[in-house]
Amino acid sequence: MIKLQGNNIYLAALERQDCAKLYNDTEYDFKNSMESILFGYSIETSDDWYNEIQKLLRENINIRLGIFLNSGEVIGDVALQGIDHKNRSCSVGINIAKIENRNKGYGTEAIKLIIDYGFGNIGLERITAETLEINIAAQKALEKLGFTLEGQARKAIYFKGRRYDKMHYGLLVSEWA
């Protein structure tokens, strides 16, 4: 199994049982909600997610890896999404399942590892990310990794009875070195 090793975590392929565990472990942070809650998904849906991960990997569009603690426990996933090989670009996305594992630096470390892989192994030259204006933690993590705020779509997202700006970030390979 190929692993991208960090200090506190590693990234590796998600197996079917990992997808089921992430589905089972995912917690919604009602106190600090940053995205819509999706009710009604059953654990069986995790099989569909696993199959989608494999399909998009075969189509060379997405690379989605599990985020594992060094002990081997899967705690989330991170992805290079919508890979555009012609323009050498994509976006990055991440999820940490349990609230107790958030805000510990695991997400930042995972994004760093997958960006290194994208720029160093795939030949990407630009990686983007989006977040809501209220997700200050994500903005700080992206800026810490060298992403530049390139703009915002004003009042683009309706969430929790309000409209929010969507923040657009970008990182060039020349800025990563």
Cα 103 to its chain centre, rounded Å, is 14
Beta carbons within 8 Å of 133's beta carbon, 6+ residues apart: 152, 164, 165, 166, 167
Q: Are strands 74-84 and 89-96 parallel, antiparallel or unpaired?
A: antiparallel
Residue 24 φ/ψ, nearest 5 degrees:
-70, -35
CATH code for the part of the protein at 3-176: 3.40.630.30
**Domain locations in the chain?**
3-176
| Residue pair 161/154 in contact by the 8 Å Cβ criterion | no
pLDDT digits over 73-95, tens only? Answer: 999 999 999 999 999 999 999 99
Pick from 21-35, 81-95, 150-164 the range whose average pLDDT is largest. 81-95
Q: What pTM was estimated for this model as a whole?
A: 0.92
